[in-house]
Amino acid sequence: MSETRRSYDEQLNEIRDDVVRIAARVCETIGAATESLLAGDLTAVDRVYQDRREVLEAGSTVEQRTYQLLALQQPMAADLRTLLAVLRILHEIELTSGLMRNVARATRRLYPHELAPRIRGIVERMGNQATVQLRLAIEAFSNLNVNVSAALPDMDDVMDDLQKELFRAIFALGAPDESALQRAVQISFVGRDYERAADHAVTIGRWVDFMVTGVMPGSESADTTS
C-alpha cells in the first residue's frame, strides 16, 4: 500500500472515529438533559448548553476535514459513500443535540413545578429509549452493521408508543388554569423532542445502509426494506 493511500485510509478512519466520539457525547447529553428535567436542576441546564456548543464545534471540524478529503483525494465507490454518509450523519447527530438543548430548556420553563409521577416515569423511559437508539445507530455506523440499522425502525415504534402514552397522561391531569395549560404544552414539546431524536437515529441507520449497499435513503428500494 502506498504512503498516499495509507495516509488517506488513516484520515478516513480518524473521521469515522471522531463521528463516533461526537455521537457518544450526545448520548451523554440525552441523559444529562433528561436528568435536569426530572430533577429540576437548573445548573445542569448550563452543562447541556455547553455540550451543545462543543458538539457543534467538533462537528464543524470533522465536516471541514471531510470536505478536504472529498476535494483533494477524489474518493471512489465505498469511500465516497462513507464521506457522504459522514456529512449526513453528523447533521443528524447535531440535530439531536439541539433537541436535547430544548429538553434542558424546558427545565427552566417548568421550574419550580415538579412533574407528576406518571409523567416523570414516561419521560425517563423516553430519554432511555432515545439513548439506546442513538447508541445502536452509531454502533451500526462504527461496525457497518446493516442488521443493527435494520432494527431501528421497529425500535422507533416503542418511542411512538411512549409519546402517545405521554399525551394520554397529560390529558388525564387536565389543565385547571392558564399556568397548568402552559406546563402541559411544554411537556408535550418535550415528548416531541424525544420522538424526533429517535427519528434521527433511524435516519442514521439508513445512511449506514447507504454506506454498505449504495441504496439512497428514501429511495424505493430503501423504503421496501424498512
Q: What is 98-160 written as a DSSP string?
A: HHHHHHHHHHHHHTTPPPPHHHHHHHHHHHHHHHHHHHHHHHHHHHT-HHHHHHHHHHHHHHH
- For residue 203, the one-letter residue type is T
- Structural domain spans, the chain: 3-225
**What's residue 216's pLDDT?**
85
The dihedral sign for the CA sequence 164, 165, 166, 168? positive
- Cell 504512503 belongs to 3
CATH for 3-225 is 1.20.58.220
Query: Would you state the torsion angle of the CA atoms of residues 207, 200, 21, 211, taken in this order, to the nearest 10 degrees?
Result: 0
> Is 223 a residue whose pLDDT tops 60?
no
Q: CA-to-CA distance for 108 and 222, rounded, in angstroms?
A: 41
Planar angle of CA 200, 159, 105, nearest 5 degrees: 70
Encode pLDDT of 193-215 as tens digits. Answer: 999 999 999 999 999 999 999 99
**What's residue 226's pLDDT?**
39
How long, in residues, is the chain? Answer: 226
Total-model pTM: 0.92
Encode pLDDT of 103-137 as tens digits. Answer: 999 999 999 999 999 999 999 999 999 999 999 99
**What's residue 224's pLDDT?**
42
More confident residue, 73 or 198: 198
